[in-house]
Chain A
Amino acid sequence: MDESTKRLLQRLMRRIPTQMLRTTLDKWGRLTGEQLQSMDFTQSKWALTEKLLAICEENELAVKHITELEMIYIIDNPNQGMWYAFQLMDPEDDAHSVELTQFKEQFKSHLRELIRHVSVKIKKHTDEAVWIRIAWGDTFSRPNHMKPTYVVHSLQTPYVFVTSLTSKQKPLLSQALVLSARYQAIKDANLSGRKLTAIRDLLMRQYHQVFPTRYPTPLAENNQTVSNQHIEREQAVPAANRLQAAYEAFGGGMLPQLQSAVYKLETKFRDHSNKTMTEREEPFRCVVKFASTNLLESLRHCASSGIASTPVTPLLSSIPLKGKNYFVITDNGPGPSSQMRQPQN
């Protein structure tokens, strides 16, 4: 094993927490039973790394095996780093019948046509998602395995999730994806987050959505301390209505964990008490950012507790409805419509 491979393994070992090490190595399957047994997982990480390095030398493993291990670890623990969602647009007629082997071959060949030195690894996960690991090189240098890009895509859906992609690499990846998935274009879906599972669930609508029905089932309510019986009685109907509106806007049960929502305002300043600002012709540019450990959950709670008025404003309900957490808001032109701020895109 050469130096760079050793470094790669060392870096990977630093990344994998000790408690996950055994299962990950097991899944990797490159260690014999005895070798795995010989590793003492109570030792320090450094000691374990040295042991593993020795075993890998023994088995004559190469870079491609180490990247395999990395991929296994990332697939099982995808909720780290920053993931960005993209959407493929305008499917060709045969987009719906693209199957895995075809996609794999096409993607690899298209990417290799665009950039000579690139290392691509494609794996199909049990949940039908295709995982792609790309190590980029350029005309002069070999692929850099220290900074790989990971791409996740489910065939027959238009969504692609990417992490660790530079702006230089973006057009190359876009081209390869569009051609191999048989679409005509790809665009930014304006959704990002630390948890891949969350942004994927949001876009694929894999969380519990609440719709108006004739006989609504009672919604889960948090245990509120009964402060005053009279207030409870008076507030029963409005509280139930707020709860229903909040659940319809954001969803029921566990919500996908988003960390932030950003609104970029390009609207005219409106405050009659401040003449200087209102008189300005240009729009007042500002950025509003909402941050939380679980943004959708907190917004839902704002609506159900009455902090945010119901019906929920489309500015907030657009987050789950459109599956976006980045909005650019402009005035809508002259007339009464300019009184409303509409989320664009």
Chain B
Amino acid sequence: MDGASTKGVLSHLSLLEVQARSRKTQPQQPSRVKELKAKAEALMTQRDQLKAEIETHKSLQKLRASMDKQRTHEEEEEEMAEDSDNSQLLRLMARHTQLKDLLHAHDIIGGYNIIKTRKGKGLCISLTTAYNGVYLENYNLEMDLKPTLRISRDNIPPFIPLKSLAEQSNMQTDIRTLLDPLSQHLNAFAARKQQFKLVKELHKSVQVMESNALCSLLVLMFTVPREKTAVLCSLEYTDHTRCLPTRVHFECEDKGLPDSPQWKKNGSLLMETPVHKALITMKKMGDIV
């Protein structure tokens, strides 16, 4: 027993002695040290880099704030002092972020013309309509911002369902859910109105029997050449977001005429082409006077 334990202790002591001697004689693993030193260097440069970035970001923000202020004071002349390359670069970067934000804002409002009114308490949104590359009417919405976004004034015609579009939209969080459908309705209405106007101007031989304020219905009277029979054509535009009809109907004393292949073709022509253009084709084909 005694021998075993003494052996254990003694052997342990001798082991420790060997270890101590080897530690004194061995060099301190230079690769490891180098490794650690290099790591420390790297971390320090990273820290410096981050510090520099923070500084740049701070000065960029300051520059951007002053740029924004300059913009709201109606484009005052920027002082183009003899800046060092560094500050010119900073200026460019600030301008870049400004333009990016502007583009983002433009995306959010969908490209509609919006201006602030009443010192930021209101907005006025302008919706343009156009057809065939020609600008038509401009419609406006004036809105209050507080307590919630709501329409205070507008010049939208009463047969455009503004109220129901507003109710169905998500305008508090995304105003485009109101503006896009509204613009669709208005543009389709303007397009139909323009088409009806062109029919009256360009096709005097075609008689307009009926139309309505919303331009969702057009009834025309055609005269077939040679026989001089009259054909009554009803165009219904039940989809108010489109400017092409949803239904075309012909009525004639000659009951067979609407079913003839020629007039069936005219029917699909009228469904697919704006009416004033379709009439030109029909005249060319000799179907109508």
Question: B213 an interface residue at 8 Å Cβ cutoff?
Answer: yes
Question: A321 an interface residue at 8 Å Cβ cutoff?
Answer: yes
Q: Hey, which chain B residues are within 8 Å of A155, CB to CB?
A: 212-214
Interface size on A, as a range, is: 20 to 34
Q: Hey, which chain B residues are within 8 Å of A96, CB to CB?
A: 214, 216, 240
Q: Which residues of B contact A (CB under 8 A)?
A: 113, 115, 117, 124, 126, 140, 142, 153, 155-159, 210-214, 216-217, 236, 238, 240
Which of A97, A203, A211, A214 lies at the interface centre, i.e. has the most chain B CB atoms within 10 A of its CB? A211
Contact A99-B153, Cβ < 8 Å, known A157-B159, A212-B124, A214-B115 = no
CA distance A211 to B211 in the complex (A): 30
Q: Hey, which chain A residues are within 8 Å of B216, CB to CB?
A: 96-97, 156
Interface residues of A in 181-221 (CB under 8 A from B): 203-205, 209, 211-214
B158 x A204 contact (CB < 8 A): yes
* B127–chain A nearest beta-carbon distance, Å: 11
The residue of chain B having its C-beta at the shortest distance from the C-beta of A211 within the complex is B140
A212 x B214 contact (CB < 8 A): no
A128 x B211 contact (CB < 8 A): yes
Interface residues of A in 141-159 (CB under 8 A from B): 154-159
Question: A100 an interface residue at 8 Å Cβ cutoff?
Answer: yes
* B11–chain A nearest beta-carbon distance, Å: 95
B213 x A128 contact (CB < 8 A): yes
CA distance A177 to B212 in the complex (A): 18
CA distance A230 to B217 in the complex (A): 59
CA distance A128 to B164 in the complex (A): 24
Chain A interface, >50% SS class: loop
A203 x B158 contact (CB < 8 A): yes
Find B126's partner among A157, A158, A213 (CB 8 Å cutoff): A213
Contact A156-B213, Cβ < 8 Å, known A205-B157, A205-B158 = yes
Write the A89-106 contact mask toward B (1 if CB under 8 angstroms, else 0). 000000011011000000
Q: Hey, which chain B residues are within 8 Å of A159, CB to CB?
A: 158
* B47–chain A nearest beta-carbon distance, Å: 48
Instruction: Report, nearest first, the 4 A-B pairs whose CB atoms are least far apart.
Output: A211-B140, A156-B214, A209-B155, A156-B159
Contact A99-B117, Cβ < 8 Å, known A211-B124, A212-B142 = no
Question: A124 an interface residue at 8 Å Cβ cutoff?
Answer: yes
B217 x A99 contact (CB < 8 A): yes
Q: Hey, which chain B residues are within 8 Å of A128, CB to CB?
A: 211-213
Known contacts A155-B212, A157-B213; 7 additional CB pairs below 8 A are: A97-B238, A124-B210, A156-B213, A205-B155, A209-B155, A213-B115, A213-B124
Contact A212-B115, Cβ < 8 Å, known A99-B217, A321-B153 = yes
* A96–chain B nearest beta-carbon distance, Å: 7
CA distance A128 to B210 in the complex (A): 8
Q: Hey, which chain A residues are within 8 Å of B156, CB to CB?
A: 205
Which of B115, B212, B214 lies at the interface centre, i.e. has the most chain A CB atoms within 10 A of its CB? B212
